[in-house]
């Protein structure tokens, strides 16, 4: 590690030299000057982690240096040292953002400790800022985190089809990352500089959805006081993401099909259509093929949208992504909350691994976000995970061996678990199980025999 850079300013030469030697012995890279004006010039030239300055000096004094640092060099911490300390100047220094105000004569140990503390605080501040910047950075860059082979294959396929203009249907359970994939596709397409517009087809009734998608002209209906551009037009040159596509009414399906075929829209009340250049990405967590068979979704529209299908597997089918995603979300939310949380302890990870995540990645993210909010330490522990996750993990545990357990195996596992919960106390465990102590004892005896 490169040494931390310190700047010492004191017009009293002896005091300056003493401090310089003391801090050089600590291994810091120290620059010392007797003039405040010179200190200003040095601050402009190179970054310092910390400045220690005498308060009272001719021309440029310590208070002015402090102000300058706070205004122009926020990464430089400041400790003011006062030969003639007054309560007033101390208060002002702290108000202006000094890390500390030290009166002469000082103890060398105090200086050492103060300098170390100021540098550490600065480091943490910088670290959480870079984390925050990183998170902000990759939020718009669209990163899909995975180490699963099938997912890697999907990403590869996504990158291949992204630059083509063909429509894509993304399927997968709720929370698997369908919208994220849609953004990823847009990001890797030639339409990237253009808009990415998302619309949830299930969130509106038919009339409102038509108004959203197609827009209207002034006077098209009472209340239409001005022209309103529809989302199809707004997405022109870019990508329109149609979420929950199966929620569209039959009439809307027909209208959408026409737009895809004709590449033009007719806003409500308009007399001539508007050309649009849109790439469609649709998503659903339902079985569209089955819906087509049942007549719930138009087959022609399905074919138009489903030129390429990307099916995103449930999180429970790619368990090795769980720890990876958990850490990713941990850093993300720690940075967003400005907390110094970096660890997931082994117990918490075990619980996460055993859990089935019916809500997929979104559920995992919520769980981690909550854990980060709850923890007071540097890590998340099992205790900070939701109760139902702890309970549900018992259920998943029962089918751990790749096949379903027999009733007896199930019973054995359950008894062992209850015994653990009862702290090994058989009488208590029997009570919890609703059987008498002797029956419990017999069962345990039998399992032991089977094991042997």
Footprint on residues 365-384 left by ligand ATP (CB under 6 A): 365
Start-to-end C-alpha separation, the chain: 57
Site for ligand ATP in 288-317 (CB under 6 A): none
- Structural tokens at position 189: 């397409």
Q: Using CB under 5 A, list all residues that contact Mg ion.
A: 179
Q: 180 or 307: whose CB is closer to ligand ATP?
A: 180
Specify the 3-state DSSP secondary structure of 113. helix
Determine the Cα–Cα distance for residues 369 and 363; give it in Å rounded to an integer.
10
| Contact letters for ligand ATP, residues 73-102 (x by CB under 6 A) | ------------------------------
Return the residue of 132, 319, 362, 398 that touches ligand ATP, per CB under 6 A: 362
CB atoms within 10 A of CB 275: 10
Both tokens of residue 407?
A: 């009733």
154 binds, among Mg ion, ligand ATP, none (CB under 5 to 8 A by kind): none
From ligand ATP, Mg ion, none, interface partner of 191 (C-beta below 5 to 8 A by class): none
> How far, CA to CA in Å, does 406 sit from each of 60, 217, 429?
83, 67, 22
Query: Nearest distance from residue 241's CB to ligand ATP, in Å?
Result: 9
Classify 80 as helix, strand or coil. strand
- With contact defined as beta carbons under 8 Å apart, do 198 and 182 qualify? yes
267 binds, among ligand ATP, Mg ion, none (CB under 5 to 8 A by kind): none
Q: Which is nearer to Mg ion, 178 or 216 (CB)?
A: 178
Minimum distance from CB of 359 to ligand ATP (Å)? 8
**From the list ligand ATP, Mg ion, none, partner contacted by residue 435 (C-beta under 5 to 8 A by kind):** none
175 binds ligand ATP (CB under 6 A): yes
Interface stretch with ligand ATP, choices 128-136, 176-184, 250-258, 444-452 (CB under 6 A): 176-184
176 binds ligand ATP (CB under 6 A): yes
Buried b or exposed e, range 372-404, using 16+ CB within 10 angstroms: beebeeeebbbebbbeebeebbeeeeeeeeeee
Tell me which residue has its CB nearest to Mg ion: 179
Peptide bond preceding 105 in cis form (omega within 30 of 0)? yes
Beta bridge partners of 7: 31, 51
The entry of ligand ATP, Mg ion, none near residue 85 (CB within 5 to 8 angstroms by kind) is: none
180 binds, among Mg ion, ligand ATP, none (CB under 5 to 8 A by kind): ligand ATP
Query: Rg for the chain (alpha carbons), in Å?
Result: 33
- Please tell me whether residue 18 binds ligand ATP under the rule CB under 6 A: no
Residue 148 or 411: the one with the smaller Cβ distance to ligand ATP is: 148
Q: What is the DSSP string of 378-400?
A: SEE-GGGS-HHHHHHHHHHHTTT
Which CB, 172 or 238, lies closer to Mg ion? Answer: 172
Residue 361, binding choice from Mg ion, ligand ATP, none, Cβ under 5 to 8 Å by partner class: ligand ATP
Q: Which is nearer to Mg ion, 54 or 244 (CB)?
A: 244
- Least Å from the CB of residue 344 to Mg ion: 26
Distance CA 303, CA 166 (A): 12
3-state class of 11 per DSSP? Answer: coil
Residue among 249, 250, 232 at smallest CA distance from 241: 232
CA gap 132, 138 in Å, rounded = 10
| CB of 240 or CB of 440, closer to ligand ATP | 240
260 binds ligand ATP, rule: CB under 6 A: no
Residue nearer to Mg ion on the CB measure, 80 or 281 = 281
Map residue 301 onto helix, strand or coil: helix
Cα–Cα distances in angstroms (integers) from residue 12 to residues 34, 149, 369, in the given order: 7, 67, 53
Q: Count interface residues toward ligand ATP (CB under 6 A).
A: 16
Largest CA distance in the chain: 92
Is 180 an interacting residue with respect to ligand ATP (CB under 6 A)? yes
Cα–Cα distance for residue pair 383/347, rounded to 1 Å:
9
Residue ranges in 194-320 assigned as alpha helix (H): 206-214, 231-234, 250-262, 288-294, 299-305
Instruction: Tell me how far apart the alpha carbons of residues 313 and 289 are, in angstroms, rounded to a whole number.
Output: 17
Answer yes or no whether residue 201 interacts with ligand ATP by CB under 6 A.
no
**Contact between 177 and ligand ATP (CB under 6 A)?**
yes
**Residue 62 near ligand ATP by CB under 6 A:** no
Check residue 179 for interaction with ligand ATP (CB under 6 A).
Answer: yes
| Binds ligand ATP by CB under 6 A, chosen from 4, 68, 100, 178 | 178
- Residue 144 near ligand ATP by CB under 6 A: yes
Interaction partner, residue 285 (Mg ion, ligand ATP, none; CB < 5-8 Å by kind):
ligand ATP
CA distance 6 to 32: 8
Closer residue to Mg ion (CB): 142 or 405: 142
Residues that bind ligand ATP (CB under 6 A): 144-146, 172, 174-180, 285, 325, 361-362, 365
């Amino acid at each position: 590690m490169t040494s931390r850079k310190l700047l010492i300013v004191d017009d009293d030469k002896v005091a300056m030299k003493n401090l310089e030697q003391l801090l050089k012995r600590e291994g810091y890279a120290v620059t010392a000057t007797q003039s405040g004006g010179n200190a200003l010039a040095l601050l402009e030239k190179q970054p310092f982690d910390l400045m220690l300055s005498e308060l009272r000096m001719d021309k440029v004094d310590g208070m002015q240096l402090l102000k300058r640092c706070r205004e122009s060099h926020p990464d430089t911490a400041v400790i003011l040292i006062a030969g003639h300390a007054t309560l007033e100047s101390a208060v002002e220094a702290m108000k202006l953002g000094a890390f500390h105000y030290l009166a002469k004569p000082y103890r060398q140990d105090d200086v050492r400790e103060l300098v170390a503390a100021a540098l550490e605080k600065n480091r943490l501040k910088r670290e959480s800022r870079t984390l925050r910047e990183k998170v902000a950075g990759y939020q718009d860059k669209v990163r899909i985190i995975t180490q699963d082979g099938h997912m890697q294959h999907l990403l590869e396929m996504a990158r291949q089809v992204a630059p083509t203009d063909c429509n894509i249907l993304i399927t997968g359970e709720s929370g698997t990352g369908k919208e994220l994939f849609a953004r990823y596709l847009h990001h890797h397409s030639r339409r990237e500089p253009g808009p990415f517009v998302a619309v949830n087809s299930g969130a509106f009734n038919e009339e409102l959805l038509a108004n959203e998608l197609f827009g209207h002209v002034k006077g098209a209906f009472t209340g239409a006081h001005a022209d309103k551009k529809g989302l199809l037009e707004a997405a022109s040159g870019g990508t329109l993401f149609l979420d929950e596509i199966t929620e569209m009414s039959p009439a809307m399906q027909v209208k959408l099909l026409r737009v895809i075929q004709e590449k033009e829209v007719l806003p409500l009340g308009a007399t001539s259509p508007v050309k649009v250049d849109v790439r469609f990405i649709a998503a659903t967590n339902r079985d569209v093929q089955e819906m087509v068979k049942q007549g719930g979704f138009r087959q022609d529209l399905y074919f138009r949208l489903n030129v390429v299908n990307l099916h995103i597997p449930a999180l429970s089918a790619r368990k090795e992504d769980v720890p990876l995603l958990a850490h990713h979300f941990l850093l993300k939310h720690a940075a967003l909350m400005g907390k110094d949380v970096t660890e997931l302890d082994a117990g918490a990870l075990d619980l996460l691994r055993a859990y089935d995540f019916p809500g997929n990645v979104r559920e995992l993210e919520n769980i981690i976000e909550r854990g980060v909010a709850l923890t007071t330490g540097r890590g998340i522990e099992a205790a900070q995970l939701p109760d139902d996750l702890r309970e549900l993990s018992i259920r998943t545990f029962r089918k751990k061996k790749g096949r379903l357990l027999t009733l007896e195996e199930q019973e054995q596992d359950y008894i062992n678990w209850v015994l653990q919960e009862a702290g090994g106390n058989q009488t208590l465990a029997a009570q919890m199980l609703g059987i008498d102590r002797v029956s419990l004892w017999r069962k345990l005896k039998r399992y032991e025999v089977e094991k042997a």
